[in-house]
């Protein structure tokens, strides 16, 4: 399972977090699948956030406005 949209990826992360929180005893058999799917979902979310930040920086830069983000992703 490799979610393609931020919304789908975020839903995967929420579902896995809830699954892990609600377990009385850890289900070690599902843990590898949960971790693998969560890493893929996190990467999708991170990529979408970075794409939006770059688009905003570009758009605001063209408008002559300062965004407060540097190209390395750090504020400032």
What is the DSSP code (8-state) at residue 36?
A: H
Q: For CA atoms 46, 5, 40, 19, give the dihedral sign.
A: positive
Give CA–CA dist 41/2, Å, rounded.
7
Contact at 8 Å (CB) between 60 and 67?
Answer: yes
Q: With bands split at pLDDT 50, 70 and 90, how would you rate the model's confidence at 62?
A: confident
pLDDT, position 60: 87
Task: Extract the tokens encoding 11.
Answer: 């839903």
Question: 46 in helix, strand or coil?
Answer: helix
Query: What predicted TM-score, i.e. pTM, was given to this entire model?
Result: 0.74
């Amino acid at each position: 399972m490799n979610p393609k949209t931020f919304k789908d990826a975020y839903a995967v992360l929420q579902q896995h977090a809830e699954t892990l929180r609600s377990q009385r005893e850890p289900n070690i058999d599902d843990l590898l699948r949960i971790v693998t799917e969560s890493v893929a979902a996190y990467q999708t979310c991170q990529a979408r956030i970075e794409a939006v930040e770059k688009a905003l920086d570009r758009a605001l830069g063209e408008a002559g406005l300062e965004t407060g983000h540097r190209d390395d992703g750090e504020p400032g």
